[in-house]
Amino acid sequence: MTVPAPSALPAVPSPGRTRRRRHRDAPVAWVLLAPALAGIVAFLALPILVVAWLSLTRWNLLAPPTFVGPDNWVRVLTEPTFGHSMLVTVLFVAMVIPTQTGLGLLMAVLLSRGLPGSAFFRVVYVVPWICAPLALGVVWKWIFAPYGGALNALLGTSVEWLTSPALALPAVAAVSIWSQVGYVTLFFLAGLAAIPGQLLEAAALDGAGAWQTFWRIKLPLLGPTTFFVLVTGVIASFQAFDHIYALTPDGGPQGATDVIAARIYLDAFGSGAFDLGRAAVMALCLFAVLVVVTVLQQRFFARRVTYDLS
């Protein structure tokens, strides 16, 4: 009796059969996708459309919205306020991102060495990140207070940390870094733990020192983590609001901390301004900026990141 040789490749279904099967499975696929699609439409697409419509209206929440065409766009894009807020935001991002990423990486490397007390510090670093940002802002406002503030009492000075145009932005950036660095550290720790031990052993056998191992093995393999941390960090920094609003509710001295997210809130709701149309324009501009920045980051990292740890 002849036993047929097993086929090396599975039988390829005919195109007609595939189409019929796809047709038959489509309802199931739609049912499975429906909750996610409903969420995307209700909480992402629809709000964007509503904000786009609002940007063409004048609305103070009390009177019905009035269609004003591109007036809000012209106002926002020609007045200096928006440009100033974008500039302050870029400065804020430039202060926050390199520092929190570098510090997070450094702390992750130190914690991954298993030194005594590492477990304790892992928890301590994450505490600011899980605390309510507005509550932290209130605490930091007291720390920075020129009279009776903890920082000035400690330093024996009377520095106006939050009312000096030169110091206000670095001060709020420092609070932001302090609150976010634990989150960054967590991701780098996970990334370091995922690096296969045999790679590090091979490097050691080849005579690589600690610095070479870090620079040539660990850092390249942390590429996906770095990419993730940078993308989410940049987005979060562009949208930073809570701490900044709690520390400097009016945009800071001479607008020094008037970041775009706080400006959107102040124009929409702050102190009864209720200029929803203007705020909507700025929100859409911020959205566009974030899309562009994220795409650029993705392109930059696409050729530099490896996901293959084998």
Partner 1 sequence: MTPPVPHPLTRRTLLGSALGLGAAAAAGCSPAAQQQRPGDSGAQRTVTVRLWDEQVEAAYRTSFDAFTAANPDIAVRTTLVPFADYFTKLTADVQAGNADDLFWLNGSYIQPYIDNDLLMEIGADFDAQRPGWIEPAVQQYTRDGALWGVPQLTDGGIAMYYNTQLLEAAGVSPAELADLTWVPGGGEGDTFLPVMQRLTVDALGVRANEDGFDGDNPGTWGYSAAQDLQGIYYNFLGSAGGAFQDAEGRFVFDSPEGRDAFGYLVDLINTHRVSPDAANTNDNGDFTRDQFLQGKIAVFQSGIYNLKNVADGADFSWGIVPIPAGPRGRVSVVNNVVVCGNAAAEDADAVTRVLQWLGSPEGATPIGASGAALPAVTDAQPAFEEYWSGQDVDPSLFAEQGRQPSIGAPTGERYGAALTAWKPFFNEMFLGRLPVEEALAQAQQAANEAIEG
Closest approach, Cβ 50 to partner 1, in A, equals 14
Angle, alpha carbons 226-227-231 (nearest 5°): 115
- Please name the residues in contact with 273: beta carbons below 8 A apart, sequence gap of 6 or more: 266, 267
Closest approach, Cβ 5 to partner 1, in A, equals 27
Q: Which of residues 41-60 bind partner 1 (CB under 8 A)?
A: 60
- State which of residues 8, 9, 31, 36 lies at the interface with partner 1 (CB under 8 A): 31
Structural tokens at position 106: 């450094």
Q: 180 to each of 51, 64, 142, 233, 282, how far by Cα in Å? A: 29, 40, 20, 9, 25
Angle, alpha carbons 173-179-180 (nearest 5°): 90
For the four alpha carbons of 225, 231, 232 and 237, in that order, the dihedral sign comes to positive
Closest approach, Cβ 245 to partner 1, in A, equals 11
Nearer to partner 1 among residue 82 and residue 188 (C-beta) = 82
Element (H, E) at 73: helix 71-78
Closest approach, Cβ 140 to partner 1, in A, equals 13
- State which of residues 1, 12, 62, 154 lies at the interface with partner 1 (CB under 8 A): 62
Closest approach, Cβ 152 to partner 1, in A, equals 11
Residue 251 in contact with partner 1, rule: CB under 8 A: yes
- State which of residues 103, 111, 162, 174 lies at the interface with partner 1 (CB under 8 A): 162
Nearer to partner 1 among residue 129 and residue 274 (C-beta) = 274
Residue 158 in contact with partner 1, rule: CB under 8 A: yes
Q: Please name the amino acid found at residue 61.
A: L
Nearer to partner 1 among residue 28 and residue 302 (C-beta) = 28
Residue 307 in contact with partner 1, rule: CB under 8 A: no
Q: How far apart are CA 284 and CA 288, in angstroms?
A: 6
Nearer to partner 1 among residue 6 and residue 156 (C-beta) = 156
Nearer to partner 1 among residue 149 and residue 182 (C-beta) = 149
Residue 254 in contact with partner 1, rule: CB under 8 A: yes
Q: 36 to each of 43, 278, 302, how far by Cα in Å? A: 10, 31, 27
Q: 288 to each of 99, 136, 285, how far by Cα in Å? A: 25, 30, 5
Look up residue 272 and give its DSSP letter: G
Closest approach, Cβ 251 to partner 1, in A, equals 7
Closest by alpha carbon to 287, among 42, 51, 40, 38? Answer: 51
Q: Which of residues 277-306 bind partner 1 (CB under 8 A)?
A: none
Site size toward partner 1 (CB under 8 A) is: 31
Closest approach, Cβ 42 to partner 1, in A, equals 15
Residue 250 in contact with partner 1, rule: CB under 8 A: yes
Q: How far apart are CA 26 and CA 3, in angstroms?
A: 39
Binding site for partner 1 (CB under 8 A): 27-28, 31-32, 34, 60-63, 145-147, 158, 160, 162-163, 248-251, 253-255, 266, 269-275
